Amino acid sequence: MAVFKTLLIALAAAANAPAAVVAFQHDPRATNTGLAKRADAYPFCNPATNPNCIAGGKYLVPILEFSSENGPGDLAYQQYLPASPWTFSKWTNGLMPERCYYWGVTADKWKATDFLVYNVTYTDCATPFVVCRHQKSTKSIGQLASVRDIMLASSLGQFVQNVFILTNPLGWQQIGKLPVRMRQASSIYIVYGDLNTDNPNYGGYMATLAGDGVVVGRSVAYFSTSLVHETGHAVDSTLASPGGGKPFSGTAAWAAAVKADGFAVSAYGAGSYVEDFAEAGRAVLLDTVVPGGLAAFTGGKNANLTQIAAQLKAFKAVAGTFYTPGGKCDLAKKFPFPTKLVKRE
């Protein structure tokens, strides 16, 4: 436990450095179509311009269609991952976690008073997660919260919440669909508005600050496969880390697996070892939850799956247990509930 805490502090320091912010700020929806049209070379691989490229820029083809919202991979997660029921309560003490303030206000220039803060408690984890939700977020915890505020303490409030869970596939239960032993790698979700006019200073999409236990992004970015990818970064730097503040994706073991395969898991993964690890997580989770595994996911049409076999094996060896649905979070491993709080003003 002591070692783990030291690691978190080291990672927190790394996450505060501008380079790390750039490294984790990306668009995990992107597929390998339209590469030439993208202005940003990172994280896609162009070996001539991107020194982080792995496997010479080669990646598994036919691709695993797991990048876009409501694409085959996203739908498979929606279908096969059980949702953990949850309850939530709104903070009324005028405070917010210091990390929500740091990223949401100081770094990304949103207004502190526009955030509402919630505890979200899932039945598979004793301690809550925190959601710092900007009021411009188009996803529904706000609408639901206002309904619930009115109905507070009434059984109807719980009823409305249950109806919401059943009928709104884009709701916050998607966080609860992440296997809890993956989910425990983060403790805070920061959710922004979706329009550039909401905040012209913010041009990002979604990011993971693993050392802070933070997943942060626009509300449109909060869908299953995107959360699976982002949580992969959190797992990489905490639960799967060999220690010393190092992500597993930075180890010789991961480099050896990539080298043995000779192909990255996806075009996006070919951009760096870090991204490739998170992409491998998507593939491993599909392999675990889709009946028949990855071969069934591709409809038996991807004879090239052996090209990523060493990466899947290496990933499963360090993180397979976290990528399995069911069970409970382990409070000794869960990223701690934030205790450093500041005024929300």
Ligand X SMILES: *[C@@H]1O[C@H](CO)[C@@H](O)[C@H](O)[C@H]1NC(C)=O
Summarize as ranges the residues that interact with ligand X (CB under 6 A): 61-62, 89, 91, 119, 127-128, 304, 337
Least distance to ligand X, CB of residue 92, Å: 6
Using alpha carbons only, give the angle 110, 112, 113 rounded to the nearest 5 degrees.
120
Least distance to ligand X, CB of residue 19, Å: 32
Which of 128, 293 has the CB closer to ligand X? 128
Which of 202, 337 has the CB closer to ligand X? 337
Bridge partners (DSSP) of residue 133 are 116, 191
Least distance to ligand X, CB of residue 344, Å: 13
Using alpha carbons only, give the angle 256, 8, 121 rounded to the nearest 5 degrees.
110
Which of 57, 71 has the CB closer to ligand X? 57
Bridge partners (DSSP) of residue 89 are 119
Which of 17, 61 has the CB closer to ligand X? 61
Least distance to ligand X, CB of residue 127, Å: 6
Which of 162, 304 has the CB closer to ligand X? 304
Q: Give how far Cα 180 sits from Cα of 42, 127, 167, 342, Å.
A: 30, 12, 22, 28
Which of 143, 306 has the CB closer to ligand X? 306
Phi, psi of 341 (to 5 degrees): -120, 150
Least distance to ligand X, CB of residue 93, Å: 7
The candidate with the shortest Cα–Cα distance to 265, out of 307, 212, 214, is 307
What tokens were used for 135?
């009021």
Least distance to ligand X, CB of residue 126, Å: 9
3-state secondary structure 110-177: CCHHHEEEEEEEECCCCCCEEEEEECCCCCCHHHHHHHHHHHCCCHHHHHHHHHHHHHCCCCCHHHHH
